[in-house]
Amino acid sequence: MVGFGEKPFRAKQVFEWLWQKNASSFEEMSSLSLGLREKLAEHFSIDHMEIKDQQISTDKTIKCAFNTSDKRVVEGVLIPTSKRMTACISSQVGCSLACKFCATGKLKLMRNLTAGEMVDQVVYLRDQAISRYKTQLTNIVYMGMGEPLLNYKHMLRSTELITSEKGLGISPKRITVSTAGIAKMIKKLGDDEVKFNLALSLHAANDAKRSHIMEINDTNNLAALEEALIYFHEKTGTRVTFEYIIFKDFNDSIEDAQELAEFAKCVPCKVNIIEYNPIDDGEFQQASIKKVDAFAAYLESKNMIVNVRRSRGKDIDAACGQLANKNNAIKKEERVLK
């Protein structure tokens, strides 16, 4: 602003128009003079993501496909329940980790999303929550497409913009960043003393099983993750969430529950047991309700905090692990890139 011959306070005004009021053009910035608005429009552009497609599930879950300014497609999901209104957002276009149970992992990684593109998803889903369901967002989870810790700089910046009083003003305790498990970056979260919550996609508490479904475990095994989680907790004091997708005849036995309970002793935690959602050509099946209940009961007998997450949005492929499963725009783009 000073370089434009303007007073420094104009910078604060522009910042708030962008990140608090979510202006999509300089023309909207009515507190700025017409001359300044024209000068800004001449030198800069505001690359908002645009909605490409939207589906609404029978359970009121909303899945949105967003177009980026370079015509990539990413997905975000609004998940309403009786107690929460959650925005699930993506951090990358595609993913490089290729976890066997995840549809997004079948796509190639195309690029990282910017902080602004992540905030755009939150803003759109927040507005849908207000307009359709007359309620505010209660939670934001970085559990969509991509691995947030492989887009660390932009992910962290997006949380700053979301939580800032000059931004969206949402409490960091309402934000959860989920990772497939990159030990050195979990430690970096601790060094940066982040205020948001951390979730680890665990899914198996022995290395052989975890490596079978998650290649990342070959370079970030359970011992390395345990060390990183202890470090993270010592630095932040934040309780960790372990996410555990439960598969039929793979990780649903009481022995598996015993291994999980033993591993989870490393830090104060809670466990989310997640119903598996089928993907195209997937090798896994849903565990039976009886087995899921027995698994949860065992963990509870060990005084663990356990939540069983029943999937929402399955009919529109918006459930956990399904993003990009049947999104023709994304599949078409991947074929072109190949």
Q: What residues are labeled active site? A: 75, 320
Handedness of CA 307, 131, 126, 89 (dihedral sign): positive
Largest CA distance in the chain: 70
Q: Helix, strand or coil for residue 95?
A: coil
Q: How far is CA 320 from CA 92, 171, 185, 273, in A?
A: 16, 24, 23, 12
Residue 39 burial class via C-beta count within 10 angstroms: exposed 0-12, middle 13-18, buried 19 and up? middle
Residues 6+ apart with CB under 8 A from 101: 203, 213, 245, 247, 276, 279, 282, 284, 321
C-alpha–C-alpha distance, residues 91 and 314, integer Å: 21
Q: Which residues are CB-neighbours of 91 under 8 A, at least 6 positions away?
A: 112, 113, 118, 142, 144, 145, 146, 147, 148, 151, 154, 155
**Nearest CA among 190, 193, 112, 201 for reference residue 158:** 112
CA-closest candidate to residue 39, choices 4, 3, 12, 8: 4
Strand partners, 76: 64
Q: Which of 225, 239, 153 is nearest to 196 (CA)?
A: 239
Other residues' Cβ atoms within 10 Å of the Cβ of residue 4? 12
Q: Which residue has the tokens 């899914």?
A: 203
